[in-house]
Amino acid sequence: MAAKPAAVGPAVVPLVEQPGFTDGAGVLVQPGGRAEILDSELLYNQSGGNGGGLANFGSTRLSKTTVAHNTAFFFGGGIFNAGLLQVDESKIKDNTGIIGGGGISNGAAEIFTDDVDGGSVWVYKSEITDNETLGFGGGVLDVEGTTTLHETTVSGNTAVLAGGGVAVADSQLTLKNATVVKNSTAGVGGGVAVAFDSAATIENSKIKDNTAGFFGAGLYNDDSVTTVRDSEVAGNRAVGPSGSGGGIYNTDGGEITLHRTKVTYNFATLPPGGISNGLFSSVRLDDESAVSANRPTNCLNVPGCF
């Protein structure tokens, strides 16, 4: 691993809380600190707290770096962030965050450490693959922060409870030209889980071939506002005995708007296979969106879709 002070980068965000003694087994960036990690490997580190490979409380850039086979007992098996983090052309793979964020966790330590909320994460042209957690967000978890995944692949990740690929709570999520594929959860949101008053924008992206034991194998939206543009939600499967909403599951006052988006070839054990919209929730489709070839049916409680 090679690390040096960053010559350029975003301004450092002031943070209230200091990192725990066991955070950042591989690399720890303190509040006010700046780091640049280039052409490096963060491998086989184990943290008793957060951030097996890296815990960032300052401002950090990772470029052309592999973060793999790391473990965190709490959050962020690969990376934990509570500052400003930029990741480009890197691989985050085969990491384990026991409670949440197998690959990357943004925030989340608030459960165990007062006043540590989400920071800001921007991931570009990277791969987040084959990470796992017993909790939420097999690939990526964000709590009260901002996460952008641009031209990034999230695949083969696993979460027991929710968000096999990506899980966000009270957060801002942007997926642009992203691929979320072949992730899984025993719970809800095999590909993406958006919950607790979050706002998500999914643009020119693919959410495909993800699985969930319960609801929303592709996308699960709970009490949140999600906009999907020019995207594809296809081949996802809600396979448990109560599985429903194979493509999209919207509940608890959630709002989803689809623009020029295809929801096709999804499956659920119980109808519908395409889009399930709960009471007091809303799903809006524009004239250029298509919901078809889902099994056993296409939609429930979605105007203009059956």
Give the pLDDT confidence score for residue 16 in this predicted structure.
35
What pLDDT is attached to residue 304?
87
Asked whether residue 53 is domain-assigned, the answer is yes
Return the residue matching tokens 């006052």. Answer: 253
Q: Domain containing 222 — which CATH number? A: 2.160.20
Residue 65 lies in a domain: yes
Phi-psi region of 217 (alpha: psi -120 to 50; beta: other; left: phi over 0): alpha
* pTM, full prediction: 0.92
Tell me, yes or no, whether 230 lies in a domain.
Answer: yes
Structural domain count of the chain = 1
Question: Does 261 fall in a domain?
Answer: yes
277 found inside a domain: yes
The reply to whether 305 falls in a domain is no
Strands (E), 108-213: 120-124, 127-129, 132-133, 140-143, 146-150, 153-155, 158-159, 166-169, 172-176, 179-181, 184-185, 192-195, 199-203, 206-208, 211-212
Residue-level pLDDT at 298: 98
Positions of the chain with pLDDT lower than 70, given as ranges: 1-18, 108-117
**What is the span of the domain harbouring residue 56?**
3-300
Q: Which two tokens stand for residue 146?
A: 């901002």
Closest CA to 241 of 186, 297, 184: 186
Strand 54-56 to strand 27-29: parallel, antiparallel, or no bridges (unpaired)?
Answer: parallel
- 306 occurs within a structural domain: no
Order of strands, edge to edge, in the sheet holding 262-264? 41-43, 66-68, 91-93, 127-129, 153-155, 179-181, 206-208, 232-234, 262-264, 290-292
The vertex-261 CA angle with 216 and 141, nearest 5°, equals 45
Whether residue 64 lies inside any domain: the answer is yes
